[in-house]
């Protein structure tokens, strides 16, 4: 079965603050010609173009950053996941700041906008890479592993286990028979309560708030601590629910956190630049190991093409 490449039918504008910088950016996601792939353009930096490829990943500190000629775009993974999950092969993304807006912490805003119009089919066929051997990628320090098994179609299986009594062991799965837009793309980012002060100390999550992140309170805390966090986020009074989550959220799925890790994994592996036919099994994935795996696959593809 041959599948043609797809792009957008029109441009879409998004504006909002970045999760880590807290700065406002305006972003346009535009159609692009066949074979163009996904490219970012920093309109505030003289139009520097950065291809969305693993070659240009420079940081994976709580998000994925690509950089070229000293110009970076931060936190691209949710947008990349949306484009991958919806089947967009070619898009030109103009942004007037350094970080993609976090919006609601998931890919849902992109999905809602693009799905309303559908995609434009192009003449060229979509390129796939048929994996011919198992590939194991590990991060012993974090207890993370990603294994790629040769398969006739792409699928993902994710397991997350942080020794958390709140989360427990969660799993998530995607294959082409599953509606990415509903089952994966709507799932929001999450953070543990005890990580928040550390992340602020590292100048991260400046744009975080309880509208765009699930906050997990692993252990009971005094209300004063919750009040201090509410002040950090400039939010009203927060309390810990009996299930261990802050009272700001209603989970979209019981395993929403695992599904979000799946969302991130799909977005990061889109940086291979070609869809890989493989069964992907990931344990405790994160941006570091995800993009490491993307580079390994990309190098393998380039070497095979020599």
Q: What is the pLDDT of residues 268-289, one digit of tens each?
A: 999 999 999 999 999 999 999 9
Contact 110, 190 (CB under 8 A): no
The more confident residue out of 204 and 119 is: 119
* 287 part of the active site: yes
115 pLDDT higher than 60? yes
* Chain segment 27-52, per-residue pLDDT in tens: 999 999 999 999 999 999 999 999 99
Residues 6 or more apart whose CB falls under 8 angstroms from that of 137 comprise 145, 146, 147, 148, 289, 292, 293, 296
Instruction: Note whether 305 and 163 are within 8 A (CB).
Output: no
Q: What is the CA radius of gyration of the chain?
A: 19
How do 65-68 and 71-73 pair as beta strands? Answer: antiparallel
In order of 64, 144, 169, 202, 285, the CA distances from 288 in angstroms are 8, 10, 21, 17, 8
Does residue 209 carry a pLDDT above 70? no
Query: Mean pLDDT over all residues of the chain?
Result: 93
Pull the structure tokens for residue 57. Answer: 């990943």
Q: Average the pLDDT over 19-25 and give the result.
A: 88
What per-residue confidence (pLDDT) applies to 231? 75
Lowest mean pLDDT across 85-89, 146-150, 234-238, 279-283: 234-238
DSSP string, the chain: ---EEEEESS-EEEEEEBTTT--EEEEEEEE--TT--EEEEEGGGTTEEEESSGGGEEE-SSS-EEEETTEEEB--HHHHHHHHHHT--BEEEEESSSB-B-TTSSSHHHHHHHHHH-EEEEEEEPPEEE--S-EEEEETTTTEEEEEEE-SS-EEEEEEE-S-TTT-EEEEEE-TTS-HHHHTTTPPPEEEHHHHHHHHHTT--TT--TTS-EEE--S---HHHHHHHHHHTT-S---B-TTSBBTT---SSTTHHHHHHHHHHHHHHGGGSSEEEEEEEEES--HHHHHHHHHHHHHHHHHHT-
Higher local confidence (pLDDT), 52 or 227: 52
What is the pLDDT at residue 274? 96
pLDDT at 206: 58
Please tell me which residue in 6, 20, 260, 287 is annotated as part of the active site.
287
Domains defined for the chain, CATH in brackets: 4-127 (3.30.230.20)
Residues 281, 287, 289, CA angle at the centre, nearest 5°? 55
Residue 97: its pLDDT value, please? 97
Confidence class for position 222, pLDDT limits 50, 70, 90: confident
Strands 135-139 and 144-150: antiparallel
Average pLDDT over residues 194-198: 74
Percent of the chain clearing pLDDT 70 (strictly above): 93
93 or 209: whose pLDDT is higher?
Answer: 93
β-strand partners of 89? none
Of residues 195 and 180, more confidently modeled: 180
Q: What is the pLDDT of residues 126-177, one digit of tens each?
A: 999 999 999 999 999 999 999 999 999 999 999 999 999 999 999 999 999 9
Q: What is the pLDDT of residues 178-191, one digit of tens each?
A: 999 999 999 999 98
């Amino acid at each position: 079965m041959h599948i043609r490449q797809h792009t957008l039918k029109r441009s879409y504008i998004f504006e909002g603050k970045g999760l880590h910088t807290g700065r406002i950016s305006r972003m346009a996601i535009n159609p692009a010609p066949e074979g163009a792939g996904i490219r970012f353009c920093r309109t505030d930096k003289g139009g520097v173009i950065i291809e969305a490829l693993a070659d240009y990943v420079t940081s994976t500190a709580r998000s994925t950053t690509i950089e070229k000629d000293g110009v970076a775009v931060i936190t691209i993974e949710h947008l990349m996941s949306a484009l991958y999950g919806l089947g967009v092969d070619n898009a030109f993304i103009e942004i007037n700041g350094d970080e993609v807006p976090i919006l609601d912490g998931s890919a849902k805003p992109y999905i809602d906008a693009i799905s309303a119009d559908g995609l434009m089919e192009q003449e060229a066929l979509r390129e796939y890479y048929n994996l011919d051997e198992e590939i194991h990628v590990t991060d012993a320090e974090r207890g993370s592993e990603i294994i790629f098994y040769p398969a006739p179609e792409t699928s993902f299986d994710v397991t997350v286990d942080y020794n958390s009594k709140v989360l427990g062991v969660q799993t998530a799965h995607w294959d082409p028979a599953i509606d990415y837009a509903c089952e994966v793309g709507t799932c929001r980012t999450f953070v543990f309560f005890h990580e928040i002060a550390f992340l602020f100390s590292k100048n991260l999550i400046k744009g975080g708030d309880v509208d765009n992140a699930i906050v997990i309170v692993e252990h009971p805390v005094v209300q004063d601590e919750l009040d201090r966090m509410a002040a950090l986020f400039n939010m009203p009074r927060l309390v810990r629910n009996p299930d261990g989550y802050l009272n700001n959220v209603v989970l979209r799925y019981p395993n929403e956190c695992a599904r979000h890790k799946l969302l991130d994994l799909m977005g990061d592996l889109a940086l291979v630049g070609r869809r890989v036919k493989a069964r992907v099994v990931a344990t405790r994935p994160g941006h570091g190991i995800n993009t490491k795996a993307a580079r390994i696959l990309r190098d393998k593809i380039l070497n095979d093409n020599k």
